[in-house]
Amino acid sequence: MDPEEFRRVGHEVVDWIADYRARVEGFPVRSRVEPGWVRERLAGLAEEGEDFAGLLGDLERVVLPGTTHWQHPGFYGYFPSNASLPSVLGDLLSSGLGVQGMLWSTSPAATEVEQHLLDELVGAMDLPRSFLGGGVIQDTASSAALLAVLAALHRSSGGKWRQSGVDGSETVYVSAQTHSSVERAARIAGLGEQAVRSVPVDPVTQAMDVGALAARLRSDLDAGRRPVLVCASVGTTGTGAVDPVREVAELCARHGAWLHVDAAWAGPAALCPEFRPLFDGVERADSLTVNAHKWMLTAFDLSLFWTAHPDVLVDALAILPEYLRNTATESGAVVDYRDWQVPLGRRFRALKLWSVLRWYGLSGVRAHLRRHVALAELLESWVRADGGWELVAPRTLSLVVLAHRGGDEVTRAAMERVNASGGAFVTHTTVNGRFAVRVAIGAEATEERHVRALWEALRD
């Protein structure tokens, strides 16, 4: 494919994407195909190539029916996965450049644009100045959690972890609502499930019980264990709970544990001054993760990770074989992001985020966030006024968790009926053992009429 062929076919592909976004509301949100349906319709690999027209035809014939449409205005499941069209174009630019940014010298712009954006966001989100120079883009919050665990292990061992690994005394603390990625990170790091402590939560707020955390820490210390990391959440996946970060930070400081704050979903809200009280105490965190690919209009995958101790992270991960040596690295004047992540190679992901921030501006992103919070407040008011449904956890930002007063089976049946209708898609959680529906408002195209239609469908 030469540049002229790319120009012709590229116009066709962009037209297809634009047409898809224009008609996405007409598809059922959740795919209705049975397991194996897609594979049965795929041809074997051909010896000879073909024009892109055949591939675009298969997108219509096979891929779209087998797709759950995350950009649909009726998508309320899990958390939003904003793939705004400016970010899609940024992704295209990144792929078009085709650079591999593992070292500063392999693409200085890939490194320095990323450094600039992460530092600029520290100011825009009113994050602690200790994060300046400590920002890096990861693929997901799961990778960020793993990095936090590895850096915490390295620090808590006085640097010995890099040579000798874990010794079996290490402990990691999460709440009963913390995302499962932190436990997985502990497993990958070699700690095993036995090292992870699940701390109870307040039955009303679903936030981590600091008293219970203090008791677990004391018990482990008395038993000769070594607290390595505590994960506090700002906006848990299940209910949007906000842990008391400042109080957790006090305990971490007292016992030498690394404080990692998981704000994967809710983090972008720090761009809005009125929502910043949710982040009280974050200035004492050792690391923080915010997913731009959830609620910040940036196509998957792009997770923002900051640490106040980049030297610890780099010292834990750095390996410099001869074939990666170069003058810039040897000078010590540049950052090589290969030492800030698990894989060696890295994409120019910052172009997606840069495209979003240049197109919308900070004010546009803030308007996007505030609009969804306002819609969630409206849904919350409808639930409070209803005799059949009730809130089972406090609303946080744009997440509403509700259940029917008639019991779990009624709630589950309503959810399944809504999802089967094709007009909306919601997911569930359990709150104090009770089955509940999560409504995570966050798709870019969602308007009041879509939320009202969901509410009426649940009530019906």
Helix H or strand E segment including 232: strand 226-233
Predicted local confidence at residue 321, as pLDDT: 84
Q: Kindly give the parts of the chain with pLDDT less than 70.
A: none
CA 423/CA 74 separation, integer angstroms: 6
Predicted local confidence at residue 259, as pLDDT: 98
Q: Which of 86, 68, 101, 119 is nearest to 17 (CA)?
A: 86
Q: Which of 264, 240, 234 is nearest to 431 (CA)?
A: 240
Residues with Cβ within 8 Å of 51's Cβ and at least 6 positions away in sequence, in order, are 9
CA 299/CA 431 separation, integer angstroms: 31
Residues with Cβ within 8 Å of 164's Cβ and at least 6 positions away in sequence, in order, are 157
Radius of gyration of the chain (CA): 23
Residues with Cβ within 8 Å of 20's Cβ and at least 6 positions away in sequence, in order, are 64
- 295 contacts 376 by C-beta, under 8 angstroms: no
Look up the CATH architecture of domain 99-347.
3-Layer(aba) Sandwich (3.40)
pTM summary value: 0.95
Predicted local confidence at residue 305, as pLDDT: 98
Predicted local confidence at residue 209, as pLDDT: 97
Distances (CA, A) of 453 to 224, 423, 424: 56, 8, 9
Q: Left if phi > 0, otherwise alpha if psi is -120 to 50, otherwise beta: which for 374? A: alpha
